[in-house]
Structure 1
Amino acid sequence: MLKNYFKIALRNLKRSKANTAINVLGLSMGIACAILIFTLIKFHLSFDSFHPEKNRIYRIVTEDHLEQITYSPGIPSAVGNTFRREYPFFEKTAMVYVRKKRQISLPYRTGDNKFQEEEGVAFAEPDFFKIFNFPLITGDRNNILSEPNTAIVTNRIARKYFGNENPIGKTIRLDNKLDFQITGILQDIPKNTDRRQEIYLSYKNLKDHNPWVAQENWLGYAHEQQCFVVLKQGVLASTVNKAFPEFTNRHYQGDYQKEWQFRLQPLSDIHSDINFDGVMPKKDIWALSLIAIFIIITASFNFINMATAQALSRSKEIGIRKALGSLRYQVFWQFVAETALVVFSSTCLAFILIILSLPFVSNLSGIPFNISFLYDRSVLLFLAALTILITFISGTYPGLILAGFQPVLALKGKLSLKHVGGIKLRKGLVTMQLAISQLLIIGTLVIIRQMEFTRKTDLGFTKDAVVMLPLPAKEQTKLSALRSELTALPGVKTISFCNQVPASEQNNNFEIVYAGRTQKENYDVIFKAADDQYLSLFGLRLVAGRNIYPSDTIREYLVNETLIKRLGISKEDAIGKNITVNDQKGSITGVVKDFHNQSLHAAIDPLCITTAVNYYSTCAIKVSTQNLKTTLAGIQKSWTTVFPENIYQHEFLDQRIAHFYEQDNKTLQLIQLFTTITIIISCLGLYGLVAFVASQKTKEVGIRKVLGASIQSIIWIFGKEFTQLLLIAFIFAAPLAWLIMNNWLQNFAYRIEIGVQIFIYAILSSFCVVIITVGYKAVKATLVNPVKSLRSE
């Protein structure tokens, strides 16, 4: 019986080649997109899920409750050390301090012995490797990093540095200062972990690398210094969180008791919580999931439309089967077998589409996809469930319609549209497809407009033709030598030493006390160290006072307008007043016009600029765009002359700012891709419905042509129906799209307004798609000889 079902199904599919092709193409694109989206979501949800004690691993994080709450994945070093001593909640704890973009050299090796590690290094306590499952290939797991000046590296790093040599006992040097002996080799780090460092150093050497971070500090912290814990069996995170206020009240005084708040963050939330530097927001994961559902629904509706449209042409076949004794359930399962055959063919084609698109999708998403992911057990289970679901959604309703035909009416050819669900059902399905398409189109347009806004918005400073170089050393002699070398280059206009450029994701936030006030302000101020050329190079404008004078120490401050407003004073009154930032007193000499000190996701913060050589880490150079290649070569030569032991690297400021929106742009590109596919699938559905409508209006079109109707008026008969469907779809899609995208825009402190023009563009673009899709079939129907139309049955 089953064999017979599939044999007949194959014959019917061959007989309707055009409809079969539309169904297979639509479903294959839908299945391919669903698998790719599932894999994307699975990858992001799997981060750090391979650790055996993952459900008990937490990170202690900081919430700074000032005028606004600020969040940090880091904590003061004293908090982590003291809390684990005073409370018995934790089975294991480990402090870790990460420094990215570090230079590693091999001091006892000649030739190429310097390496720039973008992910940097991590100073970790020994229990870090009892918390996280990073297996050790070689070395004593019980004594990992227990001794100072010891290091462990991944197998990849060992091969990179030493080739086939045994790396155990070899020495590596950090930033040309600290030597470490390799005592162990780790397995290569998996792709799905946020712990990307491949070089781990003894935490006991942190005091040699960064004394300020290593000291017992209660009021200062670095985002890079984090504390991970494993709760004891039976201990709840809520119990620990309730203990933190008591801990804070014991160790902090006055306003600090309200300001400093700590809590546990589950390991499973780290990758997605953007408040604490998460990479993939949960909103994006939900958006991709919703798009996958939309695509599958759209493709399934296509199949239902096409199948029910063909039902009348198969009425006599069903009538004969029933007259010869076929039961209703047999007819139903025959059609389900046809659906399963189409879905199976679509799945095979989907695999081909996925394989062809893998390089493109991998580049788009930033995930290193390869063919092996198709054989992953979870992907295969998802595919099996998806195939069954699509077969059920697409095959059940048309199967019930066909199985319900009355044999007498079917054989006499007296079945009408009401027996196959009517034209209203098909119009309803197409309307839903159009609504989904418009929802995605509006969403895409909003994201595009916001991304354009971020690119075109005046940030308040000059970002073009600015080259940034690292400063490996802060000695005044080195800085003076570098300035002299660079000044001699013809293409160099201005040079400034600073710790951060105007807009940066890594800022120092310090307390501020204004002159005459005994209490610190209820907010932190961003601290930027820079020389007197900073304003000139970046085109920052003074609205009051003068620029700071050259100095090696902190004597004077420039402040921005936002800080003046927060202090509640006028620009003129601020000049000459003293402020104390991070216990460093100086007088305000000028007020700088506000500029964006972070991405447009964040509001402009109170900010000060002062001279402090010990903070300088960047050399910013304004260059001429003429003979740029020659200028860059000269800059490299000059820098290498001053810092011969370091690896030269440069970066343009506009490129760094573009990194602020890297994740947003990836999300936009993915949504654009899947929106385009959804529109294509909807077009296939439209084409199928137009073909059905045209077949039902064959005689009507013939009569109208005989009576003198023009081609344009006949085309409008088709066009007005679909225009109505489009408008109905827009009425449903527009409010929902506004709600969703307005919520997405809340992630930006500076954002566009969702104006009426976006909705106009969306409806016009949808209208163009409908015209192209409907117009082709409508014109073809109107050009048929009316004599043939009137003869048709």
Structure 2
Amino acid sequence: MLKITIRRLLRFKKASLLNIAGLAIGIAASLIVFMIIRFETSFDTQQPNYKNIYRIVTPTDYSTGVQYNSGVSTGVPDAIKNEFPQMEKVATLQMIEGAQFSAEENAGKNAGENARKNAGDNAGRNVEDNAGKDAGENAIKNAGKNTSEKVFKEDHGTYFIEPSWFDLFHQKWLSGDPSQLAAPNTIVLDKTTAEKYFGTWKKAIGQIITLDNKYPLKVAGILDNAPANTDFPLRMVVSFETLRQHPDDYSYVKNDWGGMNGQHQVFVQLPENTDPATISNRLKTFSKEHYTNQLIKVRTLLLLPLSENHFDNRFSYIVPHVSSHTRLLTLTFIGVLILLMAIINFINLTTAQSAIRSKEIGIRKVLGSLRRQLITDLLFETAILVTVAILLAIGIAQLSLPVLRGFTPMPIAVFSIENIVFLFILLISVTLFAGIYPAFILSGYQPLKAFKPAGFSVRRGLVITQFAISQIMIIGTIVAMEQVHLLQSADLGFNKEAVYTVPGFGNYDLNGADALKTRLKQYAGFASITLANMPPTANSNWMDVFYFDQGATPSNYNIDIRCGDADYVRTFGLQLIAGRNYQDGKNIRELIINQTFAKQLGYKDPASAIGHTIKISNTGEWHQIVGVIKDFTNNSLREQVRPSVVMPWREACWLTCIKLTDFKMIDVLKDEWMKAFPGYVFNGSFLTQQMENYYQQEQQLSLLYRLFAGIAIFISCLGLYGMVSFMAVQKKKEIGIRKVLGASVMNILYLFWKEFLTLTGMAFLIAAPAGWWLMNNWLQNFTLRTEVGATVFLTAIAASVAIALLTVSHKAMTAALTNPVQSIQTE
């Protein structure tokens, strides 16, 4: 049976190849979508108590709207442990952003021995045990000076963590155990990081890694590499006790109930069968008991299930890769549509063979074949084609996945049990859905009924469906590309071009930074230089309540805080609309505010806000408002502009920002920076590069739309080719008669064009409202959004018409040039 089936398929090579190509591309797209969805929904599900683990987050309900913070006040963890005995486990984590780590190749035991020689036995023992005494620290820093030092700026996977973290989140230990993190000045590395610093992970045990050129940490354990599907890829884990010993360098204020630190995270595990709603209600009461002053009215705590941690972008600060349920539903929808198009394409191409195969079917019936047997044989043919298509789809998916790594950090592993099961399900379902209708048509006693209007209307409907789907994809692609372009070219209220930023480090030398700025001013290639805490637009924000005009009552909403010296306004091109810029100086207490803040204070005329005073939280000093600037985008164009201040808070400024007039000056900047901060890594980047990352999801969606629109168009072309092939067979005699009666080639082409342009127009009537509704809903996520206007639809229909004409014309031209005598005789 297999040989006979293969022989039949080889008889119709062209149709078989087209069927296989369409199905292979459709199945490959579906497989990729399935892999992405399976990966994104698997984050941290490997944890034993996954369903009972929650992150505590902080929504604050201000009059301007709810603001969400992924962290908690530092007083929360201990209070939770004391007042919620029903919480089985509580763990605290704080991110370490942009820290520098360095290690000597011959550090470790030799360093400890040198420490004892240089600082005395007691100091040496303290270095090995506590790594905390000054003499020991200096000894360790000086140990192995002649050896090769490895220095890295670590931006991801570095945390201060309590030992209790590993009670909630299990990760294999290659050496050591969680108790190693109970002591200060200890660090645990994952296998890959240990190999990066020390060659092999076994050599790393007992070695010394220095944090920010200041704090020596003993490597006390090695973790196995975290899986790709975790939001907590622990690479370098420093004991939380180290943070408690050096709080000022890492924004840690113990038992604070006023400030908020998005890096400071708390996770809890609830017992089985505990109602999270009950705990959430208790947390509301808990918040009122602990938060002070106005914060009682607006700030609360909320349980966020670990199952939602990967999908909730309101609290995404700690999560390196955030997805969304909407995104996955969109992917699922696209995957199903692409597969549906491939199935429709198969049906059209197969039924187009009805007339050619009618004699074969008739002979088999005369020889005694039952219709049931014919249907079985035809379904078996379909199964063979689908099997070949699946094998080809696996190769296509394997080749395509590296291109999609920018969309998801999914590991490239097409061959897995889950994928094989998925492909087997596709084999069965596609065989049935794609094969059952053609099998019934071809096995009928009168196959030529397929040419009657009723049969033709089914195929017309299928082609309309295909083209409607491809037009929706085209509309989505155009809108997504326009939106990304709008976001990247929008007026942000400041100048981001040619601004180069260089971050500092944990114990940033402010005097050294001032000296660096003075030296850089001597170069003509640097138009302006400012020392700041962050650029005007940043993906992290410092927000706090404030006091107004010497009042004792804090505000009931947060303001964004940007800090910088007096050159901040000039460097970023902020536009003053009232008053003046603030001045530099230790005893000068001035600041400027944005338009939104002035309006929030009740001043329609921005100039009316000048002269009033502001104090940030209850620990700051009073600053006079001396100017008002035009609104600038604080965070993302998905959000409304927030009330903001820009002020000269010197201690917070760890970022050097330079406006360049000559890009070649970056080398000069690097040399000067290395002279100012020897031993530290220079890690600069352009602000434009940083801001492109803010809209990574939109860029990825635009990429996906382009990719899947291309696939949809290709499959539509195959479907059209099948349809025009069917039409050429159906109208063979008609075309011959028309030519005998004097019809030109153009008349024959018009006969085909008219049919398919009508189908394209009917498809557009479906696609236009559907595409408008889908893309308008997506655009609601942005405060600044493009319009889904007439240009979008005109472009979509023009592209569809062009594709239809190009696809139809080839086959139509062949039919038009056929000798009419042969056409009439054949019929």
Q: TM-score, normalised by structure 1?
A: 0.95
The answer to whether the 8 A contact 2:176-2:221 is kept is: yes
1:369-396 deviation digits (Å, cap 9, x = unpaired): 43xx122110111111111111111111
Partner Cα distance (1:479, 1:86) in 2? 45
Partner Cα distance (2:161, 2:490) in 1? 41
For the pair 1:378 / 2:418, whether they are aligned, the reply is yes
Written as runs of structure 1 = structure 2, the 5 A alignment for 1:40-59 is 40-59=36-55
For the pair 1:334 / 2:377, whether they are aligned, the reply is yes
Q: Tell me the amino acid that sits aligned with residue 280 of structure 2.
A: N
Residue equivalent to 2:630: 593
Displacement after TM superposition at 1:419 (Å): 7.0
Q: Secondary structure at the match of 1:416?
A: helix
1:435-472 deviation digits (Å, cap 9, x = unpaired): 11011111111100000101111111111111111233
For the pair 1:551 / 2:585, whether they are aligned, the reply is yes
Residue equivalent to 2:114: none
* Structure 2 CA distance for partners of 1:462 and 1:253, relative to 1, 3 Å: closer
For the pair 1:75 / 2:72, whether they are aligned, the reply is yes
Q: Secondary structure at the match of 2:88?
A: strand
Give 1:34's match in structure 2, choosing from 2, 9, 30: 30
Q: Secondary structure at the match of 2:678?
A: coil
More displaced stretch, 82-91 vs 251-260: 251-260
Partner Cα distance (1:553, 1:196) in 2? 45
For the pair 1:607 / 2:628, whether they are aligned, the reply is no
Displacement after TM superposition at 1:554 (Å): 6.4
Displacement after TM superposition at 1:61 (Å): 1.0
Q: Secondary structure at the match of 2:500?
A: strand
Partner Cα distance (2:720, 2:802) in 1? 13
Residue equivalent to 2:270: 231
Give 1:676's match in structure 2, choosing from 710, 718, 731: 710
1:61-97 deviation digits (Å, cap 9, x = unpaired): 1111112111121111222321231122311110100
* Structure 2 CA distance for partners of 1:358 and 1:249, relative to 1, 3 Å: closer
Partner Cα distance (1:317, 1:225) in 2? 74
For the pair 1:101 / 2:134, whether they are aligned, the reply is no
For the pair 1:147 / 2:186, whether they are aligned, the reply is no
The answer to whether the 8 A contact 2:69-2:314 is kept is: yes
Q: Tell me the amino acid that sits aligned with residue 420 of structure 2.
A: L
Q: Secondary structure at the match of 2:783?
A: coil
Partner Cα distance (1:515, 1:175) in 2? 40
Written as runs of structure 1 = structure 2, the 5 A alignment for 1:401-420 is 401-403=441-443, 405-406=444-445, 409=446, 415-417=448-450
Written as runs of structure 1 = structure 2, the 5 A alignment for 1:166-565 is 166-211=203-248, 212-252=251-291, 255-277=294-316, 279-362=322-405, 364-367=406-409, 369-370=411-412, 373-403=413-443, 405-406=444-445, 409=446, 415-417=448-450, 422-472=455-505, 474-515=508-549, 519-552=553-586, 555-565=589-599
Partner Cα distance (1:554, 1:248) in 2? 37
Partner Cα distance (1:553, 1:268) in 2? 50
Q: Tell me the amino acid that sits aligned with residue 327 of structure 2.
A: D
The answer to whether the 8 A contact 1:544-1:572 is kept is: yes
Q: Tell me the amino acid that sits aligned with residue 357 of structure 1.
A: S
1:735-778 deviation digits (Å, cap 9, x = unpaired): 22122211211221211121121111111111111111111111
Q: Secondary structure at the match of 2:189?
A: strand
Q: Tell me the amino acid that sits aligned with residue 275 of structure 1.
A: R
More displaced stretch, 169-178 vs 609-618: 169-178
Q: Secondary structure at the match of 2:272?
A: coil
Displacement after TM superposition at 1:200 (Å): 0.8
Q: Secondary structure at the match of 2:414?
A: helix
1:249-279 deviation digits (Å, cap 9, x = unpaired): 3223564334112221111211111111161
1:724-745 deviation digits (Å, cap 9, x = unpaired): 2111111112222122211211
Displacement after TM superposition at 1:368 (Å): 5.5
Q: Secondary structure at the match of 2:75?
A: helix
Partner Cα distance (1:553, 1:394) in 2? 79
The answer to whether the 8 A contact 1:311-1:420 is kept is: no
Q: Secondary structure at the match of 1:374?
A: coil
Q: Tell me the amino acid that sits aligned with residue 467 of structure 1.
A: Y
Q: Tell me the amino acid that sits aligned with residue 286 of structure 1.
A: L
Q: Tell me the amino acid that sits aligned with residue 126 of structure 1.
A: P
Displacement after TM superposition at 1:231 (Å): 1.0
Displacement after TM superposition at 1:516 (Å): 6.1
Residue equivalent to 1:725: 759
More displaced stretch, 783-792 vs 422-431: 783-792
Partner Cα distance (1:619, 1:355) in 2? 43
Displacement after TM superposition at 1:248 (Å): 2.1
Q: Tell me the amino acid that sits aligned with residue 752 of structure 2.
A: F
* Structure 2 CA distance for partners of 1:45 and 1:552, relative to 1, 3 Å: farther
For the pair 1:580 / 2:615, whether they are aligned, the reply is yes
Residue equivalent to 2:770: 736
Partner Cα distance (1:33, 1:159) in 2? 37
* Structure 2 CA distance for partners of 1:378 and 1:444, relative to 1, 3 Å: same
RMSD of Structure 2 on Structure 1 (CA): 1.8
Written as runs of structure 1 = structure 2, the 5 A alignment for 1:779-790 is 779-790=813-824
Displacement after TM superposition at 1:19 (Å): 0.8
Q: Tell me the amino acid that sits aligned with residue 306 of structure 1.
A: L
List runs of 5+ in structure 1 lacking aligned partners: none
Partner Cα distance (1:310, 1:53) in 2? 57
Q: TM-score, normalised by structure 2?
A: 0.91
* Structure 2 CA distance for partners of 1:196 and 1:464, relative to 1, 3 Å: same
Residue equivalent to 2:10: 14
The answer to whether the 8 A contact 2:531-2:565 is kept is: yes
* Structure 2 CA distance for partners of 1:307 and 1:474, relative to 1, 3 Å: closer
Partner Cα distance (2:246, 2:440) in 1? 74
The answer to whether the 8 A contact 1:151-1:180 is kept is: yes
Displacement after TM superposition at 1:418 (Å): 5.9
For the pair 1:64 / 2:60, whether they are aligned, the reply is yes
Partner Cα distance (1:552, 1:780) in 2? 85
* Structure 2 CA distance for partners of 1:544 and 1:224, relative to 1, 3 Å: same
* Structure 2 CA distance for partners of 1:266 and 1:420, relative to 1, 3 Å: farther
Q: Tell me the amino acid that sits aligned with residue 197 of structure 2.
A: Y
Residue equivalent to 2:606: 571
Partner Cα distance (1:60, 1:721) in 2? 61
Runs of 4+ residues over 4 Å off in structure 1: 418-421, 473-476
Displacement after TM superposition at 1:421 (Å): 5.8
Q: Tell me the amino acid that sits aligned with residue 352 of structure 1.
A: G
Q: Secondary structure at the match of 1:521?
A: coil
Q: Secondary structure at the match of 2:424?
A: helix
Written as runs of structure 1 = structure 2, the 5 A alignment for 1:127-138 is 127-138=164-175
Residue equivalent to 2:111: none
The answer to whether the 8 A contact 1:474-1:613 is kept is: no
Partner Cα distance (1:54, 1:777) in 2? 58
1:480-526 deviation digits (Å, cap 9, x = unpaired): 21012212223112111110111111111011222265543332111
